[in-house]
């Protein structure tokens, strides 16, 4: 089953455009479409999945364009790169602090639904001269389907 790309809501597009402008980035149709598609999909997705979902609205969308848009959106703090299983990166529209479970067999990534105190790790990083932007927990193992 493929995720459908919904018609973007004008307020959502304007919010994305304003956030890009505020951070000094050009607003492009590709960036707006990629952000909206990722939000609409509502899960962790690969670049390939995202391109496929967005291609219905922008048929000539290439993988390099999707990668470039995601990197800009990540720099702007609007999307989040999530370390997936099997060494691949997945993307998430949820930028609020949350943590992940990664299956080492099938590569599935799920949100870890618990609060985790990371202050000690962030403080230790700062004491070592590192300027931390944040921290997250990634738990590796086998998902319920692969167990």
Look at residue 12 in the predicted model and tell me its pLDDT.
Answer: 66
pLDDT in tens, 61-90: 999 999 999 999 999 888 999 888 777 889
Would you say the pTM of this structure is higher than 0.85? no
pLDDT in tens, 92-126: 999 888 999 999 898 889 999 999 999 999 999 99
Q: Based on the fold, state whether residues 72 and 121 are members of the same structural domain.
A: no
Position 46 confidence tier, pLDDT thresholds 50, 70, 90 = very high
Q: Based on the fold, state whether residues 67 and 109 are members of the same structural domain.
A: no
Report the chain's mean pLDDT, rounded to a whole number: 87
Burial 59-86 (b: 16+ CB within 10 A, else e): eebeeebbeebbebbeebebbbebebbe
Among 85, 107, 125, identify where a domain stops. Answer: 85
């Amino acid at each position: 089953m493929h995720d459908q790309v919904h018609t973007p809501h004008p307020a959502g597009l304007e919010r994305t455009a304003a956030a890009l402008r505020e951070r000094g980035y050009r607003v492009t149709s590709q960036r707006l479409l990629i952000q909206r598609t990722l939000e609409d999909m509502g899960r962790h997705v690969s670049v390939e999945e995202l391109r496929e979902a967005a291609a219905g609205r922008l048929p000539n969308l290439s993988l390099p364009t999707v990668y470039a848009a995601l990197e800009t959106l990540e720099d702007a703090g609007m999307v989040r790169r999530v370390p997936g299983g099997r060494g691949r990166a997945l993307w998430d529209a949820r930028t609020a602090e949350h943590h992940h479970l990664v299956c080492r067999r099938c590569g599935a990534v799920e949100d870890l639904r618990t609060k985790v105190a990371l202050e000690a790790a962030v403080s230790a990083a700062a004491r070592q001269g590192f300027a931390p932007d944040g921290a997250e927990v990634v738990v590796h193992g086998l998902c319920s389907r692969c167990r």
